[in-house]
Amino acid sequence: SSGSSSSSSSSNSKVGVVVVVVVVVVVVVVVVVVVVVVVVCVVASLAAATTDAAHSVTIIIH
């Protein structure tokens, strides 16, 4: 019985830790999503610029 009582008392702290972990995970996921979106946008813009430059260079060459 003593073990169950200790587990119940520690369960409150565990709930707090779980809440903190969930919040941290959510924040990390949001940050990762934002970073991925920004990187994709930057890469897309760079790819568009490079393709434009390549087209212009090929036009100049041809």
Whole-number CA gyration radius for the chain? 26
Q: In this structure, what token pair is assigned to residue 1?
A: 């019985």
User: What pLDDT, in 10s, does the model give residues 6-53?
Assistant: 555 566 778 889 999 999 999 999 999 999 999 999 999 998 888 887
- In this prediction the pTM is 0.55
User: What pLDDT, in 10s, does the model give residues 6-18?
Assistant: 555 566 778 889 9
Query: How many angstroms separate the CA atoms of 26 and 29, rounded?
Result: 5
